[in-house]
Amino acid sequence: MKRSIVTLIVGILLTGSGLAQDSLGVRCVGRLDSSAFDVVREGEIAYVTGDILRILDVSDPANPEEIGVCQTGVRGLAVSGDYVYIAGAQELIVVNVSDSAHP
């Protein structure tokens, strides 16, 4: 159930425009197969937590593109300017993402 809610939230954040309607009331616009626990969108960039931090270009919601990865266990995150604050299992990690391809 939790994963379904996260998938729905990821879809909403990646499209940036809410839900499109179909016979069930929900239509998936784009997809990137990956585990996802939390998502923060800043403009055309989405930061997705799972087993690692994935940085996505979501300028085309139908085709989200992974542009960067940070190998760290992630439980949650916040973004402020050029920094992503990651809540790990037992630590806080701060990542400079001013160059999204090389965090």
**pLDDT tier at 50, thresholds 50, 70, 90:** confident
Choose between 97 and 89: higher pLDDT.
Answer: 97
- Asked whether the predicted pLDDT for residue 81 surpasses 60, the reply is yes
Rounded Cα distance, 61 and 22, in Å = 18
Q: Helix, strand or coil for residue 16?
A: coil
Q: What does the buried/exposed string (b/e) look like for 8-43 if buried means 16 or more CB atoms within 10 Å of the residue's CB?
A: eebbbebbeeeeeeeeeeeeebeebeeebbbbbbee
- Asked whether the predicted pLDDT for residue 54 surpasses 50, the reply is yes
Q: Quick one: average pLDDT of 42-67?
A: 91
pLDDT of the residue at 26? 79
Rounded Cα distance, 16 and 24, in Å = 20
pTM over 0.75: no
The length of the chain is: 103
pLDDT of the residue at 60? 93
